[in-house]
């Protein structure tokens, strides 16, 4: 092992011991030698013998204890894998025998806690009704990661039930995990239901994390936490073993600090799965290696639509957007302003589809847990929440109750809403706009800077651009495009179904030409910080 890294890890552990009793908002007390390490950096270190996979995983586990459980108390991690070190040891044996499984061999990964793992880690969706619930087998995503040699070191906190439970919710809060904090400014919100995954990646608690999105739940936490997030085309990654909201809109996706790492993660996750019909459609396009599409000159000659609907809502975001457009044009792309994408009423149709599919999907999931489950169906979940002293403390369960009122998926109300959703978001939405203007992609600011977390009044969104791609089930990628003070803001790139290759090409070119990612420094509050 490299002597400098050995000494660094030793210093790190000593530093950890010294802060064990510190208060909540203390920053980390020792440098992290692996800070901002990419997948390629780790593979180089393994090849050179600088560290073993066991030492690598151990360093990240100590980092989690120092930053997430003590120190800044980010609350981004719900469960630590008790088998992480033993898995790392087995992967070390393979590696020493010359049997690398590829770029993800030995890489620490975390999963949002609505993805099943058939191990000793519970799968809870952050709900006290599923506390201690163990899945019988891995989700498709967990299976693919293990096959690729990744070490699943833990599961991340999330907005309870992926933020589709009730009104006035605070993103990143769950009955089991409490409130996740933004690592840039600790009293600010991490945004979106994949909040723990976004924070864990940004704070260097893991190399890669997997989130899920129905509408904005990968995009927003990636944007608010200064990282890269990919929401794939629905059907590119199987949803088997994911606690569902909407069969039509749900998808897992990778979250990382760089476009390259996210692309590597995407290549591991994709594939046909007979247990998810969306992955079996004939037009699906899968690639084992998405890094082949990364091109620093990828903006050259591209026609890109600028979805300007949020312009004027936040002048600070507008200024960042102007700078982004200026760079994109200087890199050889043509920008075409677009003020409207979807047909009127598409959002309302999406909500109806989600409510119908939520009831159907949750009841099937509860059934899969068997007789030992605390709740057997959606009705029992609603009843459990009413009796629980914590679950409804800050926000309601209106969406659960609305879903319970719905009938089956054969009802005309569902079928009509689904038809209108597809028509309004695709044929009269993204496909129409891209055909009319001959576009390669569409861009928009992902959101506004993170607001102060407010458990009483809930989230304070100013703007967001995730809905067109989410409603259509089409791909979306967000990349850091700058900061307002210390708070990051993201730029979204979205487009047609199965267009991940061209979106990655464009997003990578923007990332490499601007390099806006900054390491968070755990500022307690902006009130104690001079804004740049």
The stretches of 388-443 forming alpha helices (DSSP H) are: 398-404, 412-422, 431-437
Detail the DSSP E strand segments found in 199-353: 208-213, 228-231, 251-256, 303-307, 334-338
How confident is the model at residue 3, as a pLDDT?
34
How confident is the model at residue 28, as a pLDDT?
58
How confident is the model at residue 19, as a pLDDT?
27
Q: Please state the domain count of the chain.
A: 1
Give the three-class secondary structure for 333: coil
Distance of CA 199 to the CA centre of its chain: 9
For the chain, 532 residues long, the average pLDDT of each consecutive 10-residue run is 35 31 43 95 98 98 95 95 98 98 98 98 98 97 98 98 97 98 98 98 98 98 98 98 98 98 98 98 96 98 97 98 98 98 98 98 97 95 98 97 98 98 98 98 98 97 97 98 98 98 98 98 85 50
User: Quick check: is 29 in a domain?
Assistant: no
User: Quick check: is 347 in a domain?
Assistant: yes
How confident is the model at residue 72, as a pLDDT?
84
CA-CA distances (angstroms) from residue 353 to 162, 331, 343, 345, 476?
Answer: 16, 41, 16, 13, 21
User: Quick check: is 377 in a domain?
Assistant: yes
How confident is the model at residue 387, as a pLDDT?
98
Counting every residue written for the chain, the total comes to: 532
User: Quick check: is 19 in a domain?
Assistant: no
User: Quick check: is 256 in a domain?
Assistant: yes
Residues whose CB is less than 8 angstroms from the CB of residue 315 and which lie 6 or more positions away in sequence, other chains included: none
How confident is the model at residue 529, as a pLDDT?
64
Give the three-class secondary structure for 158: coil
A 10 A CB-CB count for 283 gives 8
How confident is the model at residue 29, as a pLDDT?
54
Detail the DSSP E strand segments found in 198-338: 208-213, 228-231, 251-256, 303-307, 334-338
User: Which residues form the catalytic set?
Assistant: 112, 193, 217
Q: How many CA atoms lie within 13 A of 364 on its CB side?
A: 16
User: Quick check: is 24 in a domain?
Assistant: no
Q: 468 is in which domain, residue-wise?
A: 37-527
Cα dihedral 145, 146, 152, 155 in deg (nearest 10)? 60
How confident is the model at residue 95, as a pLDDT?
98
Distance, in Å, from the CA atom of 58 to the CA atom of 84, rounded to the nearest integer, reads 9
Nearest CA among 87, 96, 76 for reference residue 54: 87
How confident is the model at residue 31, as a pLDDT?
81
User: Quick check: is 25 in a domain?
Assistant: no
Residues whose CB is less than 8 angstroms from the CB of residue 339 and which lie 6 or more positions away in sequence, other chains included: 307, 308, 309
Q: Would you give the end-to-end CA distance of the chain in angstroms? A: 41
User: Quick check: is 9 in a domain?
Assistant: no
CATH of the domain at 128: 3.90.1300.10
Distance, in Å, from the CA atom of 183 to the CA atom of 205, rounded to the nearest integer, reads 11
- The answer to whether the beta carbons of residues 475 and 506 sit under 8 Å apart is no
Residues whose CB is less than 8 angstroms from the CB of residue 517 and which lie 6 or more positions away in sequence, other chains included: 226, 227, 257, 258, 480, 511
Q: What are phi and psi of 233, to 5 degrees?
A: -55, 135
Distance, in Å, from the CA atom of 201 to the CA atom of 107, rounded to the nearest integer, reads 13
- The answer to whether the beta carbons of residues 357 and 327 sit under 8 Å apart is no
């Amino acid at each position: 092992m490299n002597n400098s890294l050995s000494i660094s890890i030793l210093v790190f552990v000593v530093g950890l011991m010294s802060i064990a009793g510190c208060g909540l908002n203390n920053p980390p007390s020792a440098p992290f030698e692996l800070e901002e390490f990419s997948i390629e950096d780790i593979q180089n270190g393994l090849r050179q013998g600088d560290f073993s996979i066991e030492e690598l995983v151990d360093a990240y586990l100590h980092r989690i204890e120092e930053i997430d459980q003590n120190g800044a108390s980010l609350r981004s991690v719900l469960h630590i894998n008790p088998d992480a070190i033993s898995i790392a040891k087995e992967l070390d044996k393979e590696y020493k025998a010359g049997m690398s499984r590829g770029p993800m061999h030995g890489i620490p990964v975390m999963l949002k806690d609505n993805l099943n793992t058939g191990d000793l880690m519970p799968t809870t969706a952050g709900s006290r009704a599923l506390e201690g619930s163990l899945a019988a087998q891995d989700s498709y995503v967990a299976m693919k990661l293990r096959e690729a040699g990744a070490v699943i070191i833990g599961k991340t906190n999330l907005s309870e039930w992926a933020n589709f439970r009730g009104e006035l919710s605070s993103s990143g809060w769950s009955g089991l995990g409490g409130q996740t904090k933004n690592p840039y400014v600790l009293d600010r919100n991490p945004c979106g239901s994949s909040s723990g995954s976004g924070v864990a990646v940004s704070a260097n608690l893991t190399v890669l994390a997997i989130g899920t999105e129905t509408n904005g739940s990968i995009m927003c936490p990636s944007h608010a936490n200064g990282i890269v997030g990919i929401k794939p085309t629905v059907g590119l990654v199987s949803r088997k073993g994911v606690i569902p909201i909407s069969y039509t809109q749900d998808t897992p996706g990778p979250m990382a600090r760089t476009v390259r790492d996210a692309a590597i993660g995407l290549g591991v996750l994709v594939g046909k799965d007979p247990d998810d019909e969306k992955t079996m459609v004939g037009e699906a396009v899968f690639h084992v290696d998405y890094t082949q599409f990364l091109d620093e000159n990828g903006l050259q000659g591209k026609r890109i639509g600028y979805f300007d609907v949020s312009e004027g809502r936040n002048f600070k975001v507008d200024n960042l957007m102007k700078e982004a457009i200026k760079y994109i044009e200087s890199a050889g792309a043509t920008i075409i302003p677009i003020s409207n994408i979807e047909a009127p009423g598409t959002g309302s149709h999406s909500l109806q589809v989600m409510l119908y599919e939520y009831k159907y999907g949750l009841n099937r999931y509860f059934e899969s847990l068997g007789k030992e489950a605390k709740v057997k169906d959606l009705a029992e979940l609603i009843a459990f929440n009413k009796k629980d002293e914590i679950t409804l403390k800050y926000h309601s369960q209106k969406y659960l109750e609305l879903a319970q009122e719905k009938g089956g998926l054969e009802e005309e109300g569902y079928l009509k809403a689904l038809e209108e959703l597809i028509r309004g978001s695709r044929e009269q939405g993204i496909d129409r706009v891209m055909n009319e203007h001959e576009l390669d992609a569409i861009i928009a600011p992902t959101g506004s800077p993170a607001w102060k977390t407010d458990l009483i009044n809930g989230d304070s969104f100013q703007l967001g651009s995730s809905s067109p791609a989410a409603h259509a089930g089409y791909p979306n990628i967000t990349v850091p495009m700058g900061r307002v003070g210390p708070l990051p803001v993201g730029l979204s790139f979205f487009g047609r179904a199965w267009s991940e290759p061209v979106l990655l090409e464009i997003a990578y070119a923007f990332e490499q030409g601007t390099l806006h990612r900054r390491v968070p420094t755990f500022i307690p509050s902006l009130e104690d910080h001079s804004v740049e």
